[in-house]
C-alpha cells in the first residue's frame, strides 16, 4: 500500500518535471522577446537615450511623458482695432480676427504648439501641446478604431446573415471572404493608395467624376478631412470579411428550432432577429469586438504606408521617433502609452462583456 503511494507520487513528480521541461523553451523565448524588451522599453522611456550619438544617456524622469501628453487650453482674445476699439474682422473669413496662438501659448520651459482650435459660448479657444503630433495621433487612432470597428461589426453582421442562408455559391462566397484577410496589409495599402490617386488615373476620381461628386482631381490622401475616412474605408474592406466569418460561426451555433418555434408563434423576421439572433450572438460579438479593437488600436502598416508622416497613428508615431529621429526615449514613452491604453481597453471590455463569469 505504502509502496504504491510512493510509486504514484514518483510518477506525479516525473510528470511535473516533464511539464516544466517542456514549458521552458516557450517561456525563455517569451522572456527574451517580450518581457525583457518590455522592461527595457519601460526603463528607457524615462531617459533621453538617442541612437548614433556619443552623448551619455540621462534619466529625465517623466519628461518624455510630459512632452508627449501635456496640453493646455487657452482662450484666444479677439484682435482689437486700435482706431475703433472694436474687434478686427478677418477679410478672408468674414469673422472676428483672433490673436495668433503663438502669442498666447506658453513658451517656457517648453514651447506649446497650436494643435486645434474650437469655439465655445462665442469665445475662441486654442489647444496647445508640447508635441504637435502625438496627442492628435491618439485622437485619430481612437476615432479610427471606434468608427472602423462599428462599421465592421454592422457590415460583418450583414454579410454573415446573408451567407448564413442556403444558396448556391455559398461555399465560393465563404472562400472569397478569406481573401482580403489573407493578403499582406502592405499589398492592400498600396492597392488602395493607387485607387485613391489624386487624378483620374485613380479609380475613385473616375467614379467621383462620373457621379459628379469631384472634379476628377480630388486629393483623397492629402486632404486632411479625407485622410481618416480613407484609412477607415481601407481597413473596413480588409477586415469586414474576417468579422463576418467569426459571426457566421456564431450564427451557426444558434439552434434552428428556436426560429421554427418563433415562426409558429407568428413572430416576424425582424422580431426574431432582435429576440433570438442578437442575444444568442452576443458572446461571439463580444469576442470579435475585443480582438478587432485591440488590433485597430495598434494599427501601423496602413498609416505608415499610405500616409507616412503626413498623419500618424500612435504606432507609426512611435516608429518614426525611433527609426527616423533616433529618439529612443520618446519612442519608448509613446510605446508605453500605447501599451497602457491597450491594456485599459482590454480590461474594460472584458469587464463589460464578462468573459470571467458564466
Partner 1 sequence: MNSKNKNMISRFFFWLVVIGIFVYMIFPFYWMINSSLKSEAQLQMTPATFVPRNPKTGIFAPSLINYKAVLENKPFLRGIQNSVVVAVSTTVLALLVGAFAAFALGKLRYRGKTASLYIILSMTMFPQIAVLSGLYFVIRNLAIPAIPSMILSYMLFTLPFTVWVLASFFRALPMEIMQSAQVDGATPFQTFIYILLPLTAPALVTTGLLAFISAWNEYLFALTFTTVQPSARTVPVEIALFSGTIAHQTPFGEIMAGAVIVTIPLIALVLIFQQRIVEGLLLAQSKDRIHRVLNEL
CA gap 145, 342 in Å, rounded: 12
Interaction between residue 134 and partner 1 (CB under 8 A):
no
Return the residue matching grid coordinates 455559391.
Answer: 169
Beta carbon nearer to partner 1, 267 or 346 = 346
Interaction between residue 174 and partner 1 (CB under 8 A):
yes
Interaction between residue 251 and partner 1 (CB under 8 A):
no
Least distance in angstroms from the C-beta of 167 to partner 1: 7
What part of residues 255-284 is at the interface with partner 1 (CB under 8 A)?
283-284
Interaction between residue 33 and partner 1 (CB under 8 A):
yes
In three-state secondary structure terms, 78 is: strand
CA gap 308, 319 in Å, rounded: 11
| From 2-10, 76-84, 128-136, 321-329, span contacting partner 1 (CB under 8 A) | 321-329
The contact mask relative to partner 1 for 326-355 (x = CB under 8 A, - = no) is --x--xx--xx-xx--x---x--------x
Beta carbon nearer to partner 1, 52 or 122 = 52
Q: Which long-range contacts (CB under 8 A, 24 or more apart) does 223-232 make?
A: 224/311, 227/307, 227/310, 227/311, 228/140, 228/143, 228/144, 228/311, 230/192, 230/196, 230/306, 231/144, 231/148, 231/299, 231/302, 231/303, 231/306, 231/307, 232/144, 232/147, 232/148, 232/151
Interaction between residue 185 and partner 1 (CB under 8 A):
yes
| From 114-122, 159-167, 257-265, 272-280, span contacting partner 1 (CB under 8 A) | 159-167
Interaction between residue 246 and partner 1 (CB under 8 A):
yes
Query: What is the total count of residues that contact partner 1 (CB under 8 A)?
Result: 98
| Contact in structure between 79 and 99 (CB atoms under 8 Å) | yes
| From 54-62, 178-186, 220-228, 270-278, span contacting partner 1 (CB under 8 A) | 178-186
Interaction between residue 169 and partner 1 (CB under 8 A):
yes
| Contact in structure between 248 and 178 (CB atoms under 8 Å) | no
What part of residues 47-76 is at the interface with partner 1 (CB under 8 A)?
51
Interaction between residue 156 and partner 1 (CB under 8 A):
no
Beta carbon nearer to partner 1, 146 or 249 = 249
Q: Which of 6, 62, 187, 344 binds partner 1 (CB under 8 A)?
A: 187
Q: Which of 83, 71, 54 minimizes the C-alpha distance to 111?
A: 71
CA gap 242, 237 in Å, rounded: 10
Cell numbers standing for residue 174:
465563404
The contact mask relative to partner 1 for 212-241 (x = CB under 8 A, - = no) is ----x--------------------x---x
Q: Which of 39, 77, 95, 279 binds partner 1 (CB under 8 A)?
A: 39
Half-sphere exposure of 12 (CA within 13 A, CB side): 6
The residues with which 114 forms a beta bridge, in sequence order, are: 128
Question: What burial class does residue 340 get, using C-beta atoms within 10 Å of its C-beta: 0-12 exposed, 13-18 middle, 19+ buried?
Answer: exposed
Least distance in angstroms from the C-beta of 45 to partner 1: 9
Q: What is the DSSP letter of 202?
A: S
Beta carbon nearer to partner 1, 128 or 329 = 329
| From 78-86, 96-104, 118-126, 198-206, span contacting partner 1 (CB under 8 A) | 198-206
| From 72-80, 121-129, 140-148, 242-250, span contacting partner 1 (CB under 8 A) | 242-250
CA gap 35, 43 in Å, rounded: 12
Residues in the chain: 358
Interaction between residue 32 and partner 1 (CB under 8 A):
yes
CA gap 333, 350 in Å, rounded: 26
Amino acid at each position: 500500500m505504502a509502496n504504491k503511494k510512493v510509486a504514484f507520487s514518483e510518477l506525479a513528480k516525473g510528470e511535473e518535471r516533464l511539464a516544466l521541461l517542456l514549458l521552458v523553451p516557450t517561456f525563455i523565448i517569451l522572456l527574451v522577446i517580450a518581457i525583457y524588451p518590455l522592461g527595457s522599453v519601460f526603463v528607457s522611456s524615462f531617459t533621453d537615450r538617442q541612437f548614433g550619438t556619443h552623448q551619455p544617456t540621462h534619466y529625465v524622469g517623466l519628461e518624455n511623458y510630459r512632452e508627449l501628453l501635456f496640453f493646455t487650453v487657452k482662450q484666444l482674445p479677439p484682435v482689437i482695432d486700435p482706431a475703433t476699439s472694436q474687434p478686427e474682422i478677418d477679410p478672408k473669413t468674414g469673422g472676428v480676427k483672433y490673436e495668433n496662438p503663438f502669442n498666447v501659448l506658453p513658451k517656457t520651459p517648453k514651447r506649446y504648439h497650436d494643435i486645434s482650435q474650437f469655439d465655445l459660448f462665442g469665445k475662441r479657444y486654442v489647444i496647445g501641446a508640447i508635441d504637435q503630433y502625438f496627442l492628435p495621433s491618439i485622437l485619430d487612432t481612437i476615432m479610427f478604431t471606434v468608427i472602423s470597428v462599428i462599421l465592421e461589426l454592422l457590415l460583418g453582421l450583414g454579410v454573415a446573415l446573408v451567407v448564413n442562408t442556403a444558396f448556391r455559391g455559398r461555399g465560393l462566397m465563404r472562400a472569397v471572404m478569406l481573401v482580403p484577410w489573407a493578403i499582406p496589409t502592405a499589398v492592400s495599402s498600396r492597392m488602395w493608395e493607387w485607387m485613391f490617386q489624386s487624378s483620374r488615373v485613380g479609380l475613385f476620381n473616375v467614379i467621383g467624376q462620373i457621379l459628379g461628386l469631384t472634379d476628377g482631381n480630388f486629393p483623397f490622401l492629402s486632404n486632411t478631412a479625407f485622410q481618416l475616412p480613407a484609412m477607415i474605408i481601407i481597413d473596413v474592406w480588409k477586415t469586414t470579411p474576417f468579422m463576418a466569418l467569426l459571426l457566421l460561426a456564431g450564427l451557426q451555433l444558434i439552434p434552428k428550432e428556436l426560429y421554427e418555434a418563433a415562426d409558429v408563434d407568428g413572430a416576424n423576421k425582424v422580431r426574431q432577429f432582435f429576440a433570438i439572433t442578437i442575444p444568442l450572438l452576443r458572446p461571439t460579438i463580444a469576442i470579435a469586438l475585443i480582438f478587432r479593437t485591440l488590433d485597430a488600436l495598434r494599427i501601423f502598416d496602413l498609416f505608415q504606408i499610405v500616409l507616412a508622416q503626413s498623419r500618424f497613428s500612435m504606432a507609426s508615431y512611435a516608429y518614426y521617433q525611433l527609426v527616423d529621429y533616433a529618439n529612443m526615449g520618446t519612442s519608448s514613452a509613446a510605446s508605453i502609452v500605447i501599451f497602457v491604453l491597450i491594456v485599459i481597453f482590454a480590461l474594460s471590455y472584458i469587464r463589460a462583456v464578462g468573459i470571467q463569469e458564466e
